[in-house]
Amino acid sequence: MVTELTYTEHLFAGTRDELLAKIEKQLKPKRFKHVQRVEQTAIALAQMNDVDVEKASIAGLVHDYAKQRPDEDFIAAIKQYHLNPILLDYGNAIWHGVVGAELIKHELGIYDEDILNAVRHHTTGAIYMSPLEQIIYTADYIEPARDFPGVDDARQLADKNLAKAVAFQAKHTLAYLVENGKTVYPKSIDTYNAWVPRYPNV
């Protein structure tokens, strides 16, 4: 069932349709569909976990807002908004969350820090994640079009225990990066250490 919310909390100055229109301009059709699936998954997880569904909707829709911006936009934003210059060593995979949150704030006028942190942390996770942050991190991983070995295990965990789903993702993402000789961002290791030993069997 697709939930189309009426926004009432003034987290975004406009309707859901107006937010969708702004996001659609930024994304290719495939990714635009992805963010709508993440939104629906996030709303379902919010309902299950007693989290604000309007925040889940907005965070789900905007989480990849900056994904298709050119590198120059991120580099300019890192300088303009005085973000940690260490970010300049990274690339789109990290920038679209951490720097993307600043673009969302300034271009869409969304200032809710829980929503912005959900965007900032959706790729790497974080040592502390609010319930909304856990929901976006998980929804991005298990949305209905995701198809990788273990995704059904992740979905079943998410239905029962959100924190276990976070631990599952932190563990399996790190294992994937190591097995494939890919860069591991320090924050992903912090996330692993903070979440996985709590649920070592996920």
Instruction: Summarize as ranges the residues that interact with Fe ion (CB under 5 A).
Output: 64, 140
In whole angstroms, what is the distance from residue 42 CA to residue 56 CA? Answer: 6
- Residue nearer to Fe ion on the CB measure, 102 or 140: 140
- Pair 50, 96: CB distance under 8 Å: no
Q: By C-beta, is 112 or 143 nearer to Fe ion?
A: 143
CB of 140 to Fe ion, least distance (A): 4
For the four alpha carbons of 92, 108, 9 and 36, in that order, the dihedral sign comes to: negative
Q: Which residue has the tokens 């300088």?
A: 79
Positive/negative CA dihedral, 120, 49, 39, 16: negative
CA 179 to CA 199: how far, in whole Å? 21
Could you tell me how many helices (H) and strands (E) the chain has, helices first? 10, 0
- To Fe ion, the closest distance from the beta carbon of 192 in angstroms equals 19
Minimum Å distance from CB 184 to Fe ion?
A: 17
Q: How far is the CB of 191 from Fe ion (least distance, A)?
A: 15
